[in-house]
Structure 1
Amino acid sequence: MSGSIYDTAWVSLVSKTVDGSTQWVFPHSFQHIYNAQSADGSWQGDGSIPDAIINTMACLLSLKSHESSWNGGVNDIAPRAAKAASYLVDALQGWDILSTERIAFEMIVPSLMEQLEKYGLTFDFPQKEILLKLSKKKLAMVNFEIVYKHHTTVLHSLEAFAGKIDFDRLTHHLRNGSLMASPSSTAAYLMYASKWDESAERYLNHVIDQCQSYGYGAVCNVWPTTVFEFSWSICNLFESGFDASRLDKECLDRIANILYDSLAAEKGIIGFAANVGPDSDDTAKALTALQFLQKPFSMDPLIKAFELPTHFQCFQFERNPSLSANCNILIALLRASNPAGYENQILKAATFITSEWWTTEGTVEDKWHLSRWYPAMLTSQGLVHLLYLHGQGLFPQISDDLLKVKIPTTLFTIIVRILQSQRPDGSWGEGGSREETAYAVLALANLSSLPYSELIREQIATSVSLARSYLTTSNAVDNLHIAPADYIWVGKIGYGVEHVCNSYIVSALNIAVPLYEPSTVSVGAPPIPVSKVESFTKFYGRLQMYKGFPKWRLVAWIVEGYLYLPELARVRLDVFDRDGMKKDPYFEYLPFSWTGPNGMEETYTSPQTIFDMIVISMVNFQVDEFFDLVVQKHGPGAIQSLKHAIGVICDDLEKGIVPKALPKAGTNGHSNGHSNGHSNGTNGTESEQKDSSYQDIHSRLSHFVNFVFTYPRIEYASPNDHGQLRREMRIYLLAHTQQCEDNVRLQAQEHFDPYLTPPSSYLKWVRGTASDHLSSQYAFAFIACLLGHSQNKAKGGVREDYFPTAEIKYIAQDCSGHLSVICRIFNDWGSMRRDREEKNLNATFFPEFEGRAKNKSDEQLKSELRAISDYERKTLQLSFDELLRVCQKTVGPAQGKRLHEVVRLFYNASEMYTEIYEFRDLSTWQA
C-alpha cells in the first residue's frame, strides 16, 4: 500500500513522558515529513488539492509542535512552517468543498484548523463557511455513546474528534493495538488517552517497519489489509479467465485457508483485515474468492447482517449506501453454488444498482473510490453476468422494466462513457492511471458481450487494443511501485495498493473480449434496426453540430436512443390519442435529440432525465397537433373555447388545484377524451354541440396539464420552480391560441405575403408568441423542476431552487430565450412550403421581409433568417460565458460547471432541431 504523509504526520505528533521529561516517540516519522516537504511548502500526496491541503495542514501542525524542541530548538522549522502556511493560504482559495470525496475530511480539516489556531495560524477562504456547516451537520449526527459501546467507523478517524470524545472510554475497541487499523487514529488515541498503551505503541512501530520502502518513519493509510488484498486479487484473476492450473496451488490453498478461517472466526462477516469490524464489501469479495478457490462459505451471514429493504448496507449505522458494495454483493451471490436460491436478494441488488445509474445526474461515483470507472467496471461485471445466467433460465421473476429498459440502457450508457473518455495514449484517468485503464478494459470485455453492442464492437476492440498497448509500453506489470495517478482508493487521503493494482492490470491483459458469447446473454431490449441506424448516421452526420465527430460516436448515440424507444412507445398515447393525424415523423428523431447532445459534450445527464425530456418533447409535438386539429375540426370559433379552457385550468393551477386526468380506456367514464355529447355535429342542438366541443377541448387540455403537473419526478421541485412552470405553461398554451388567431387572420387575406395585420414587429413576435409557441421556455422550466426534484430528493426532501440565485435564474432564462428564438427561426425555415400551402403564419410573411413585394426567392429569405439567427447566436454565447462565470463564482467550480452544462444540454437539444429543420420538416400534416 502507498505511504501516507497525513498518517505519518499524526504518528510524528505522539509524545510521552519518560523520567519527568517529554519525548517524541517516533522521531523518524517527523524526520520523514521534514524531508518530504516540497519546494512550494506543501506535501502533495496524490497531487489533488484536497490531499495537498489535508497533508499540509497535518504536517504544519507537526512542524509547529516540534519547532521549540527539535534539535534543541536549533532548526529551520520556522521558515518551513511559514512556507507551508503560505501554500495553504493560496491552495484553500481554490478548494471546491462540495466536490471533495475523502473520509471524514469535513471533520478532520476543521479540527486541524482549531489546533493550528493555538499557534496563531488562521485561514480564511471562499468556502470556509460551507466546510464549517458540513462539519457541524456531521458532528450533530455522531452519537458518542454509540461509539463508546459499538465498533463503528468513527473509530477510524478519532483524530478528528480531539477535545470532543473521551478517549479513555475507547480502550476496549483496540484490536491488536490499533483502532480500526488506522495509524492516525491510533496515534490520536495515544496522544489523548490518559493512560499509555504499550500495544498501540507496538502497533505503530510494526507499521513503520512494514513501510520502510517509503522511507524509515513513514506509515501507510491503513494496516493491515490482508483480507482486502487477498480477496480483490483472487477475484480479479479468476473473473478475467485465469484457470487455477496456471497459478501457484500452494499459494492459493494458503489464501483460501486464511480467508475461510477469518470468516469462520468472525461468524461469516469480515472487514478488510481480521478484527477491524465487518463490512459487506470485504465480506462479499472474500466469499467470491472462496467460490473461485473451491472452498465455499455460506452467504447467509452476509445477507442477515447487511440486507435492508431496498439495498445492502456496507457498514452498520452508515448514512448513505455504497454502490460498489452492492455490486460486489451481486457478484458474490451470482457466483454462489445455488444462485437461484438468492433470487430475491440478487434482484434487489440489481434494482438498486441500475437505479443509481438511471437516476444519478453527472458521473456515477462511489464513496470508497475516486475513479468513476471502478463502479462502471463492477456494474458491468454484475449485470452482464446476471443477463448471462438469465439466458440459462435463471431468475424468472426479473421485471420487464429491469430487463427491457433499465439494464440495457444502464449498460450501454457505460459503454459510451468509457469509450468517449479514453485518452489519446490509450489510458483512462487523470495523468494516465494504469489501474483505471485496467478497469475500463475489464468493463468493455463484459459489455462487448451484449448483443446490442454489435454496431460498435469494432470500436470496442480498437479501444481495448490501444489500452493494452499502453499497459504494455508503460511496463505496468513489472513496475509494481504505485504512482500518484494510481492513488484512487478513498481514505482520509487518496491511496493505492500495489498487489491489487497489479492484479487488475494482469487481468486486463488476459481477459477475453467479449467475455461471453453474445448469443448466450439474455437481453430484453428489441433488436436494433441496423439499416435505420445507418440511415440516421448518414443524416445526422450532415448536421453542422456533429461534424468532426467519428462515425462510431454517432452510431453509439443513435443505438442508445433506440434503447429508449420501447418505453417511449408504451407511453406514446398516454396524453393525446392523435386521432385524425398522420404517422408522427418526429417519433424516431426524439431520443437522439437528447442522447446526441448528452454524449456530444459529455454532460452525463441521468438516463431518467433524458427519458423524461424525450417524453416531454414528444408530448409537446402532440400539443401542436392538438391545437391544429381543434381549429380544423371545430373552426375558428374554437379558439375562444381554447382560451377559456386555458384560463380556467391555469387559474385553478395557481390556486393549487390540478385538473383531473381523463379516465383510462376500459374504466368507467370516457377514454380518449370524448364526452357523451354529440361532438360530430350530426345530432343535438347547436348549443349542445358547442357545449360538447368545449367539453372535449377542456377535458383533453386538462389531461395534458394533469400529466405535466402530476409528473412523479417533479414532486420535490421547489415552490419557486413549480411556480415558474405554472407561469410558462399558461404562456405556452396562450401562445398557441394567438398563433391560431394569426393563422385565421392570415387565411382571410387574398395573399399570405405580406401579413397585413401583424400583432407587432417581427422582433417582438419572434421573441414572444412565436418562441413561446415552440415550448422551449416551458420545457426549460420543466427540466429545472426535474433536476431540482432529483437534487432535493438526494438531500432528504428539502425544497431548494435548482438555479440558486436570482442572477443565475435570470441568465439561464435569458439563454433559454435566445435559443427559443433561434429554434423558431429555423422552424419557419423548414416549414416555409407547408405554411404557404396551409396559410400558417411564418416569419417570412412579416412586412419586414418584403418577400412578395420584392419577389424574393426562398434562398434570399432563408439568407435573411440565417443572418438574424447568427446575431442571436452571438448574444447567446455571451450569455453562456456569463452564466459559467457567475455560477462558478456563486456555487463553486464543479457545481457551477454542472449548472452551465445543463443549460448547454438544453441548448444543444434545441439546436439539433434547428439544424434538422434546414433539411426536413418534422411537423405532422393532418390526414
Structure 2
Amino acid sequence: MSADPHGQFSPSVYETARLVTLVPGLAGHGGRIRFLLAEQNADGGWGRPDSYGLLPTLSATESLLAESRRARNPVVGLAAGRGLQALYTRWSDGEITLPDTVAVEILVPALIADINAHLEALDAESSPVLQGRRLPDPPGTNSELLAGLRETVRRGQPLPPKVVHSLEAVGPAAQGVSFARAGEDGVGCSPAATAVWLGNPAPEGPARRYLETVQARHDGPVPVAAPLDVFERSWVLATFAGAGIDVPVPPGIVTGLRNAFGESGVPGGAGLPPDADDTATALYALAALGRPRSLDCLWPYQQDDHFVTYPDERTPSVTTNAHVLQAFTSTETTKPGVGETMRVLAAWLCGQQRADGSWMDKWHASPYYATFCCVAALSGCGESTPAVRKAMHWVVGTQRRNGSWGRWEGTSEETSYAVRILLQANGNRPDPTVEQAAARGCAYLLGKDGEADPPLWHDKDLYTPGRIVLAQRIAALRAADANPRVGRLVGPWISVGAGRTA
C-alpha cells in the first residue's frame, strides 16, 4: 500500500465502457474494447446476476454501439447487438429493478437516452432488425433529477460534491466545468467523470495524465474509482486490528491517514467528499495504532437514532453505523453522551437485522459482509447477544457443501467473513458444530490461495478491493489458528471437505 497511491481495485465494465465512448483517442483504447468483449456473458449481458447486470450492460452496449458506428468493426457490432438483445430480454421478462448502487437513478436514464439515440441513427440507416425497438426508463430512475442536474450545469452553477463522482451523467455540458478541478488525481475520483470533463480529443494536461496512469495498470481497462488510498489503508489496518494481528505499519501510512482528516473527517480518496464510513474506519484504525484522533468529526453525521454516510442519502447503511459504533468503542466511551449514543446505535443495528439473522447493506452485494460488520460491532454490547447468536446460527445454516459461503457461489471473501462471524460470535465456548463449520471454511480458503474474487462491493457497479479482501482472508485464518480446537480440525478437512463442489 505504501508504494501504491491509487489502491488495488478490479477493472470496471461500466467505467471502462464510458472511456470507450468519451475518449476513444486515449492510450489503451484497444485494450478497453478487448476487455469489454471478453467480459460479455453468455446471455449477451455484462456484470453480476440479478439487478447488478443492468448498469454494466447498458454502459457496455452503448459504448460498443458507438464504437461500431465509428469503426464499422463487425465483431464489435455483433457484441453490441447481443447486448441489445440482452436488454430487450430483460425488459420483456418483467419489471426492471435497480440495485442500490451509486447514482443509479441518474446513470441508467442517461445511458438509455444515449442507446435510444444510437437506435434512432441506425433506423435512419435502414436497419430493419432494430426499427421501433426503444428502451423505456425503468421504475426507480429519476429523469427529472438528471434533467435538473444538466440544467444546473448549463447555467454555470456547481453540482453537490458527491455528484461530481458521477459527472459523466451530465453529458457534454460537463466538459471543462469550473466547479470540478482536474489535477493529478483526476475529477471526482472517477475515470469516467474525468473523461467527460476532458472531452474528445482529450487535451494534454493533468487530467489526461491521470487517465493514462489509471488505464496503464490493466492495459486499457480502468477501475470504478481511483485513487482510493484512504479507503484501502483504513480497511486493511482496521481488519488487522480487529483480528488482533500486530504488523509493522510504515510511518508514512499512519501520517497520511492523519493528514487526510479535515473538519468533516476523511473521504475514501481524493475528489470524493468526506463520509462517516471512511471516517469511522480510519479513526478505529488510528486508535488501534496508538495514534487516536478525536471523534468529534463524526457527530455531524448523526441523524436521530443512527448515522448517515453522506448528507441527504437515499438509504441508511448498517455497515457505516457498525463502523461508527466500533470507532466509539475504541476511544471515547467515557465522554458524556457517548454511552447513550452507543446503546441507541446498537439498538438501531439490531432493529435492522433480517428475520433469518443476517443483515444487508448498500455498500456490498453480500449479506456476509454486512453481517460480519454488525457482529463485530455488536459483540462488545451485552444486550446485543441474542442478535449475534442469531447471526451465527444463520451462518452455520448457509454453509455450502464444499465448505464455502456466498450469495451466488462460494467465494473466498464471503467465506472469510463467515469464518470470522462464527469464531467471534461463539467466543471460546466449545461447540462442535460451529468449530467444524469454521474448519471447513478455512480448508476452503487454503485451497483457493491465489484465486481472484468476483466483484461484490458497491460503487457505480460492483468491484473487488483486492488488498482489503486479502486482509480479510488473512484475518479469518489467523482467528482460526488462534482457536486450538478449530486448528486441529482444519487439516482433515483440507483433504475431505475442500474437494467437494458447491
Residue 258 of structure 2 corresponds to 260
TM superposition score normalised by structure 1: 0.46
Residue 60 of structure 2 corresponds to 59
Show the 5 A alignment for 1:477-626: 479=450, 482-484=452-454, 487-511=455-479
Question: Matches of 1:219 and 1:259 in 2, distance apart?
Answer: 25
- Aligned to 2:472, the other structure's residue is in SS state helix
Residue 153 of structure 1 corresponds to 162
Question: Matches of 2:348 and 2:479 in 1, distance apart?
Answer: 27
Q: Where does the alignment leave 5 or more consecutive residues of structure 2 unmatched?
A: 1-8, 120-129, 484-502
Deviation, 1:464, is 0.8
- Aligned to 1:416, the other structure's residue is in SS state helix
2:423 counterpart of 1:449: no
Question: Matches of 1:371 and 1:173 in 2, distance apart?
Answer: 35
2:436 counterpart of 1:466: no
Deviation, 1:386, is 2.8
Residue 381 of structure 1 corresponds to 376
2:228 counterpart of 1:225: yes
Cα deviation, 1:453-508, whole Å, max 9, x if unaligned, reads x6x83321121111111111222xxx1x5332xx1101221111111011001101
Show the 5 A alignment for 1:757-772: none
Question: Matches of 2:181 and 2:202 in 1, distance apart?
Answer: 15
Show the 5 A alignment for 1:231-380: 231-243=234-246, 247=247, 249=248, 251-263=249-261, 266-267=262-263, 269-303=265-299, 305-336=300-331, 338-341=333-336, 342-357=338-353, 364-380=359-375
Residue 539 of structure 1 corresponds to none
Question: Matches of 1:468 and 1:24 in 2, distance apart?
Answer: 44
Question: Matches of 2:257 and 2:94 in 1, distance apart?
Answer: 41
Question: Matches of 1:167 and 1:317 in 2, distance apart?
Answer: 26
Question: Matches of 2:464 and 2:202 in 1, distance apart?
Answer: 34
Correspondence for 1:44 among 39, 43, 46: 46
Q: Is the alpha carbon distance of 1:339 and 1:142 closer, same or farther for their aligned partners in structure 2, counting shifts above 3 Å?
A: farther
Give the paired residue count: 460
Higher helix share: 1
Residue 87 of structure 1 corresponds to 86
Q: Is the alpha carbon distance of 1:143 and 1:75 closer, same or farther for their aligned partners in structure 2, counting shifts above 3 Å?
A: closer
Residue 855 of structure 1 corresponds to none
Q: Which amino acid aligns with 1:425?
A: N
Correspondence for 1:203 among 202, 206, 210: 210
2:22 counterpart of 1:14: yes
Question: Matches of 2:334 and 2:94 in 1, distance apart?
Answer: 46
Question: Is 1:106–1:132's contact at 8 Å kept on the other side of the alignment?
Answer: no
Show the 5 A alignment for 1:612-651: none
Deviation, 1:13, is 1.6
Q: Is the alpha carbon distance of 1:140 and 1:62 closer, same or farther for their aligned partners in structure 2, counting shifts above 3 Å?
A: closer
Show the 5 A alignment for 1:877-892: none
Deviation, 1:155, is 1.6
Question: Matches of 1:39 and 1:312 in 2, distance apart?
Answer: 38
Question: Matches of 2:41 and 2:440 in 1, distance apart?
Answer: 37
Question: Is 1:102–1:492's contact at 8 Å kept on the other side of the alignment?
Answer: yes
- Aligned to 2:381, the other structure's residue is in SS state helix
Cα deviation, 1:665-700, whole Å, max 9, x if unaligned, reads xxxxxxxxxxxxxxxxxxxxxxxxxxxxxxxxxxxx
Q: Is the alpha carbon distance of 1:77 and 1:195 closer, same or farther for their aligned partners in structure 2, counting shifts above 3 Å?
A: closer
Q: Which amino acid aligns with 1:323?
A: V
- Aligned to 1:12, the other structure's residue is in SS state helix
Question: Matches of 1:84 and 1:78 in 2, distance apart?
Answer: 10
Deviation, 1:208, is 0.8
Cα deviation, 1:294-317, whole Å, max 9, x if unaligned, reads 1111111222x3122221111122
Correspondence for 1:5 among 10, 13, 17: 13
Correspondence for 1:181 among 164, 174, 189: 189
Q: Which amino acid aligns with 1:9?
A: A
227-236 or 139-148, larger mean C-alpha shift? 139-148
Cα deviation, 1:321-348, whole Å, max 9, x if unaligned, reads 1111110000011011555552133223
2:130 counterpart of 1:134: no
Q: Is the alpha carbon distance of 1:421 and 1:513 closer, same or farther for their aligned partners in structure 2, counting shifts above 3 Å?
A: farther
Question: Is 2:17–2:36's contact at 8 Å kept on the other side of the alignment?
Answer: no
Residue 426 of structure 1 corresponds to 403
Residue 109 of structure 2 corresponds to 110
Q: Which amino acid aligns with 1:259?
A: L
Q: Which amino acid aligns with 2:420?
A: L
Q: Is the alpha carbon distance of 1:123 and 1:483 closer, same or farther for their aligned partners in structure 2, counting shifts above 3 Å?
A: farther
- Aligned to 1:438, the other structure's residue is in SS state helix
Deviation, 1:169, is 4.1
Question: Is 2:239–2:471's contact at 8 Å kept on the other side of the alignment?
Answer: yes
Residue 436 of structure 1 corresponds to 414
Deviation, 1:419, is 1.3
Q: Which amino acid aligns with 2:314?
A: R
Q: Is the alpha carbon distance of 1:318 and 1:136 closer, same or farther for their aligned partners in structure 2, counting shifts above 3 Å?
A: same
Q: Is the alpha carbon distance of 1:473 and 1:332 closer, same or farther for their aligned partners in structure 2, counting shifts above 3 Å?
A: same
Q: Which amino acid aligns with 2:445?
A: L
Deviation, 1:284, is 0.7
Q: Is the alpha carbon distance of 1:133 and 1:238 closer, same or farther for their aligned partners in structure 2, counting shifts above 3 Å?
A: closer
Question: Matches of 1:293 and 1:362 in 2, distance apart?
Answer: 33
Residue 415 of structure 1 corresponds to 392
Cα deviation, 1:632-652, whole Å, max 9, x if unaligned, reads xxxxxxxxxxxxxxxxxxxxx
- Aligned to 2:303, the other structure's residue is in SS state coil
Which structure has more relative contact order (CA 8 Å, sep 6+)? It is 2
Deviation, 1:166, is 5.3
- Aligned to 2:388, the other structure's residue is in SS state helix
Question: Is 2:28–2:220's contact at 8 Å kept on the other side of the alignment?
Answer: yes
- Aligned to 2:314, the other structure's residue is in SS state coil
Which of structures 1 and 2 has the bigger CA Rg? 1
Question: Matches of 2:178 and 2:282 in 1, distance apart?
Answer: 29
Q: Where does the alignment leave 5 or more consecutive residues of structure 1 unmatched?
A: 17-22, 388-402, 516-927
Question: Matches of 1:283 and 1:482 in 2, distance apart?
Answer: 28
Question: Matches of 1:501 and 1:83 in 2, distance apart?
Answer: 33
- Aligned to 2:269, the other structure's residue is in SS state coil
Question: Matches of 1:377 and 1:15 in 2, distance apart?
Answer: 40
Deviation, 1:140, is 8.6
Cα deviation, 1:155-187, whole Å, max 9, x if unaligned, reads 222223337x65554543545452321112222
Q: Is the alpha carbon distance of 1:275 and 1:111 closer, same or farther for their aligned partners in structure 2, counting shifts above 3 Å?
A: closer
427-436 or 349-358, larger mean C-alpha shift? 349-358
Question: Matches of 2:150 and 2:109 in 1, distance apart?
Answer: 19
Question: Matches of 2:366 and 2:412 in 1, distance apart?
Answer: 12
Question: Is 1:178–1:203's contact at 8 Å kept on the other side of the alignment?
Answer: yes
Deviation, 1:227, is 1.0
